[in-house]
């Protein structure tokens, strides 16, 4: 969406399942929970808001004006801007050896509780109080929103612990609604409750449940970016005070959390065209790039009026070109998930002791078996990489193949040590090794024969060269679907994530807790928070 104002940016719904963004922005404050019906005729529980008030009656109710919050626990943009007319934005609260001002949260479903542990460490290190730009996708959008609203690290942990994941699954008749809702509304759950809960927290801080992106920016100095997938235009949209100033934040969070099939998409009509908005994580689950470059910059010199000189200015490479060293990202993955650059994340992982819970027992053995296999493959790959480098430098005649004498020279190379040799060849003799690799018995080892040898060791060499991992559990329906989703996620990340992003990404391994593990006991929640703490602490060592 381009930047717009309330007079020119009209959204006119023409059907019952369409939402009018403009009306949402202009309506007076609503004190009652909006009624939403699912396809089976049920209405959302009328006491949702009342229950939220009871659960969170200890949370600070209002956000102080910008010019009155110079010593609050949550900082804002330390520079004055013409877009924040209420007063000079407050300066950083305390000195900090780190210069991070932007925080990016990946979507991760139920694993998101680990963010609470990470935020706690950021708070201890003085980083949290200096953050004023937040971005999130899917489940990460809700956490980013709470941070942007100005809730403290302890308040956010309290909210995350109390809100059950089932709270967001709001089909009135449960499984009975599934088939009908899928056919009629393209999703099982309406997703309205996500919006209602977000409105509640907006109202607690700002007195306005339909707080817009620009209103948040003007009142607090904080920028929020919510990533949403537009299925109609088949593109990623960045909901932000610069691009969608008048849009309700709660509605954007609902859009970003609309997981296809599980949650109904949000349908909007814009200038006669129906736009279908779904989960932001479908195309961009980890928007580490979003504050790079000029596109979301609120600096007047980066306005669309000045920047959009020609159509070439709108390419992703141009919009997000400059690397922002003030950005820090949090990325989640469980023990059996493939992740881009996972090997690098695992190198700095600190293991957390599992609790004795049903979920830990159920998933733990599978995770342990997977880890043993991956560790073995990683050792073989490391040995194979050194072995291949030694082979290349031992190709004396420049034939791009290696004979047995050149193989002997390669094995004697100092970089290829005894541990590497044992990982690849055990205690086999030189002749046995050569004959095992030389498939066509022509007395030479080629690159393709080397790759074939590695595949016999269950190591996809080229896959590991790209810092990827493999899935070997696609023989079941659930395994197939899970692998399919991971494949899309991992490869799409490479469109936005670069090698240098490792320097600004904290990878959090949630071990036995997966994205859709909804039944968590208190010990499981403690474990997730601990994972976030130790991973973040290790990152700063």
Q: What is the pLDDT of residue 337?
A: 81
**Rounded Cα–Cα distance for residues 301 and 299 (Å):** 5
**Rounded Cα–Cα distance for residues 299 and 309 (Å):** 17
**Rounded Cα–Cα distance for residues 136 and 493 (Å):** 14
**Rounded Cα–Cα distance for residues 284 and 228 (Å):** 8
Q: Which of 326, 288, 300, 332 is nearest to 132 (CA)?
A: 326
SS3 540: coil
**Rounded Cα–Cα distance for residues 372 and 143 (Å):** 33
Q: Which two tokens stand for residue 121?
A: 């460490």
CATH topology for 366-465 is Recoverin; domain 1 (1.10.238)
Please state the pTM of the whole predicted model.
0.77
Q: What angle do CA 507, 512, 513 make, to 5 degrees?
A: 75
Dihedral sign, Cα of residue 427, residue 431, residue 432, residue 437: positive
Question: pLDDT tens string for the chain (541 positions)?
Answer: 444 433 333 333 333 344 444 443 343 332 333 334 454 444 454 556 666 665 555 566 665 544 443 333 443 343 333 333 333 343 344 456 899 999 999 998 889 999 999 999 999 999 999 999 999 999 999 999 999 999 999 999 999 988 766 677 888 888 998 898 889 989 999 999 999 999 999 999 999 999 999 999 999 999 999 999 999 999 999 999 999 999 999 999 999 999 999 999 999 988 889 999 999 999 999 999 999 999 999 999 999 988 887 655 567 778 998 999 999 999 999 988 877 777 778 888 888 999 999 999 999 998 888 888 877 777 777 787 777 777 777 777 777 888 888 877 777 765 667 777 777 787 778 788 888 888 888 888 888 888 888 777 766 665 655 555 666 667 777 777 777 777 777 778 778 888 899 999 999 999 999 988 888 999 999 999 999 999 999 999 8
**Rounded Cα–Cα distance for residues 505 and 436 (Å):** 41
Q: Please, are residues 99 and 153 in contact by the beta-carbon 8 Å criterion?
A: no
Backbone angles phi, psi at 56, to 5 degrees: -125, 35
- DSSP labels, 49-65: HHHHHHHTTTS---PPP
Q: Please, are residues 286 and 106 in contact by the beta-carbon 8 Å criterion?
A: yes
């Amino acid at each position: 969406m381009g930047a717009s104002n309330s007079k020119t940016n009209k959204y006119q719904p023409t059907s019952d399942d369409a939402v009018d963004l403009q009306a949402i922005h202009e309506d007076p404050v609503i004190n009652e929970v909006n009624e939403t019906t699912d396809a089976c005729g049920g209405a959302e529980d009328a006491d949702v808001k009342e229950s939220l008030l009871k659960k969170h009656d200890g949370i600070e109710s209002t956000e102080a004006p910008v010019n009155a919050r110079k010593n609050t626990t949550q900082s804002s943009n330390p520079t004055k801007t013409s877009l924040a007319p209420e007063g000079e934005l407050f300066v950083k609260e305390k000195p900090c050896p780190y210069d991070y001002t932007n925080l990016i949260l990946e979507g991760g479903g139920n694993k998101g509780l680990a963010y609470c542990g990470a935020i706690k460490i950021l708070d201890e290190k003085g980083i949290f109080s200096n953050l004023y730009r937040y971005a999130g996708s899917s489940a990460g959008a809700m956490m980013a929103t709470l941070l942007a609203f100005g809730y403290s690290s302890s308040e956010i942990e309290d909210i995350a612990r109390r809100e059950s994941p089932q709270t967001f699954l709001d089909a009135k008749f449960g499984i009975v609604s599934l088939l009908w809702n899928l056919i009629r509304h393209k999703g099982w759950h309406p997703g309205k409750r996500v919006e209602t809960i977000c409105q509640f927290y907006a109202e607690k801080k700002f007195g306005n449940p339909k707080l817009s992106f620009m209103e948040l920016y003007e009142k607090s100095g904080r920028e929020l970016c919510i990533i949403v997938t537009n299925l109609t235009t088949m593109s990623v949209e960045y909901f932000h005070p610069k691009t969608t100033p008048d849009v309700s934040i709660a509605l954007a969070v609902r859009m970003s959390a609309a997981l296809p099939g599980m949650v109904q998409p949000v349908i909007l009509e814009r200038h006669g065209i129906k736009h279908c908005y779904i989960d932001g994580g479908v195309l961009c689950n980890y928007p580490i790039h979003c504050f790079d470059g000029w596109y979301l910059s609120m600096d007047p010199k980066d306005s669309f009026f000045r920047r959009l000189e020609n159509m070439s200015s709108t390419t992703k490479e141009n919009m997000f070109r400059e690397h922002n060293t003030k950005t820090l990202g949090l990325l989640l993955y469980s023990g059996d998930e493939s992740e881009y650059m996972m090997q690098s994340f695992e190198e700095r992982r600190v293991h957390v002791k599992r609790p004795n819970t049903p979920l830990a027992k159920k998933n733990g053995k599978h995770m342990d078996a997977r880890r043993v296999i991956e560790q073995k493959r990683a050792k073989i790959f490391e040995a194979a990489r050194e072995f291949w480098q030694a082979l290349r430098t031992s190709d004396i005649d420049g034939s791009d193949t290696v004979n047995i004498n050149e193989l002997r020279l390669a094995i004697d190379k100092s970089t290829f040590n005894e541990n590497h040799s044992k990982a690849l060849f055990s205690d086999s003799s030189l002749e046995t090794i050569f004959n095992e690799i030389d498939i066509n018995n022509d007395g030479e080892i080629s690159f393709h024969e080397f790759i074939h040898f590695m595949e016999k060791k269950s190591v996809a060499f080229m896959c590991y060269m790209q810092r990827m991992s493999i899935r070997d559990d696609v023989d079941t329906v659930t395994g197939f679907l899970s692998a399919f989703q991971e494949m899309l996620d991992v490869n799409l990340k490479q469109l936005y994530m670069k090698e240098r992003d490792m320097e600004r990404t904290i990878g959090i391994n949630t071990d036995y807790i997966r994205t859709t593990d909804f039944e968590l006991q208190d010990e499981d929640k403690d474990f997730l928070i601990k994972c976030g703490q130790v991973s973040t602490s290790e990152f700063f060592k």
